[in-house]
Structure 1
């Protein structure tokens, strides 16, 4: 499997595979965001999810994939720190603002800085048409956030800090996307990076979540929480794994932009699952996001 994936790097087949992997990651990332924002405290949900994918990744990391090269340990340590900060900021943002306001701001901030970062780190370049697509996509994302902000936001007193946390979280999305793309390219076997990353990354927040759960006046039953964690862990594997493989097969910037169509899926999930309102204006903005992604993809041909 690894040899086959590596053989696709830099080919047209690899480009097409990266496209579909990025779109799969977009859908799954929206599902993941809804799982964390759902009925449970975001800290508890995140702790259960991390515990799940840590335990699932451990046997693969220790017994299946090739052992990491010596230089990878420093890369894993920095990636762990970046992701801990990202997850902390994301959970804080979700505790201060509604899902439909926070999520678009987080996802809208990320791709622009990822494209800029990839141009410096990986020497990637976008055509003028692709930059137009980025602007169209960002207009749709931030337009959706503004619409949600005006018509759907209920916690007005915590709104400024929620938006600030969402913007900073988006910067960390760009940071981890770019850095993790560097990490998965730094090892011979991409599955070595994925297995070890999930095991290391998931080993911290469960302890904090347990302490928080134990100190709650009315802690939720552990069964449903762990079931949410199991589902979220599987989604995280598929979502993060897909976009990381996409960044190894093709341009990091393109994968980052295409992944942000997750905002469309998030709005649909908010409507169908979380019972949030979706009207013609939001449908038009979601169409704008999808159009931006299409322009980015077609402009690179």
Structure 2
């Protein structure tokens, strides 16, 4: 499989596969975000997911893929602080506002920062049409943030910090995406990086979740948390793995922007599954974010 991925690097077939992977990552990431928000403390849900990541992935990392060699360990370990920051900021944001408030801002702000990072690290450039797409996407984000500030019936003292945390999470998303693209390109076998990525970046949340579980009044049944964790880990494999492989095959900025069509999936999930009120204006703004991503892809 790794030989096939490497053989498609820089080809038209590789570009098409990267497109499919980025769209798959978009849908799966929306599912993962809804699963973490859900009806369980986001710190506990993420702790369950990361525990499952370690348990399910460690045997694969040890026995089914080559071990990292030399500087490859540094590339994997270098991902850890970016992923830790992403997860902590996301949990803090979800603790303060609804999924459909936080998620679009997180996913929409990430590509802007990623495009800048890809330019600095890889020398990638965008056409004028692609920058127009980025502008449309950012306009949707700004409109959504303003709409939320005006209409969401929550404590303003919680909403404003939630929006700032969401933007900070978008920055952390760009950091782990850009560094991940650099690291997976610098690892001889891309699946070596992915396997150890899922193991090492998951060591923090189980400890935090265990501490919170002992101190919380309502303790979700461990069986339910285990089921949630395994489901989330399987979805996470597809989401994070797909976008990392997409950045290995094609431009980092384009893959990151296209993934943000997840905002449309998030709107549907928030409405159908989490029973959150979305409304036509917010759906339109989320769709605008996705439209910007599509313009970026078509303008390349």
TM range (shorter): over 0.9
1:153 deviates by 4.2
User: What residue in structure 2 maps to residue 3 of structure 1?
Assistant: 3
Q: Which residue of structure 2 lines up, in the alignment, with residue 243 of structure 1?
A: 243
> What is the Cα deviation at residue 7 of structure 1?
0.5
- Match in the other structure for 1:261: 261
Count of aligned pairs between the two proteins: 300
CA deviation after TM superposition for structure 1 residue 293, in Å: 2.0
Matching residue of 1:171: 171
- Are residue 199 (structure 1) and residue 194 (structure 2) matched? no
Q: Is the 8 A contact 2:263 2:287 kept in 1?
A: no
Structure 2 Cα separation of the partners of residues 128 and 92 of structure 1:
36
Q: Distance in 1 between matches of 2:57 and 2:145?
A: 35
Quick one: distance in 1 between partners of 2:255 and 2:153?
30
1:223 deviates by: 1.1
What do the CA deviations read for 1:179-222 (whole angstroms, capped 9, x no partner)?
Answer: 01111111111100000111111122112211210122231111
Residue matched to 1:208: 208
Alignment CA distance shift 1:125-1:33 (3 Å): same
- Greater shift, 33-42 or 96-105, is seen at 96-105
> Shift in Å at residue 291 of structure 1?
2.2
Indicate the residue corresponding to 1:41 in structure 2.
41
Q: 1:54-73 counterparts in 2 under 5 A?
A: 54-73=54-73
3-state SS of paired residue (1:195): helix
Contact 1:23 1:258 in 2 (8 A): yes
1:79–1:127 distance in 2 versus 1, CA, 3 Å: same
1:24-78 deviation digits (Å, cap 9, x = unpaired)? 1011111111111111001000000000111111111000001112101222222
Q: 1:204 to 1:191 in 2, by over 3 A?
A: same
Distance 1:222 1:199 in 2: 21
Q: Please, what TM-score do these two structures have when normalized by structure 1?
A: 0.96
- Partners in 2 of 1:145 and 1:33 — Cα distance? 19
CA RMSD between the two structures: 1.3
Say which SS state the counterpart of residue 96 (structure 1) adopts.
coil
Q: Which stretches in structure 2 are left out of the alignment for 5+ residues?
A: none
Q: Secondary structure at the match of 2:203?
A: coil
CA deviation map 1:79-111 (0-9, x unaligned): 112211221111111111221111122112211
Q: C-alpha displacement at 1:115, in angstroms?
A: 0.2
Structure 1 unaligned residues grouped into runs of 5+: none
Does residue 223 of structure 2 align to residue 223 of structure 1?
yes
* Conserved 8 A contact 1:72-1:186: yes
Alignment of 1:1-301 (within 5 A): 1-300=1-300
Larger mean CA deviation between 62-71 and 282-291 belongs to 282-291
- 1:209-238 CA-to-partner distances (Å, cap 9, x unmatched) read 112101222311111111111111111100
Distance verdict in 2 for CA 1:141–1:216, change over 3 Å: same
Distance 1:149 1:104, change over 3 A: farther
Instruction: Say if 1:108 and 1:142, in contact at 8 Å, map to a contact too.
Output: no
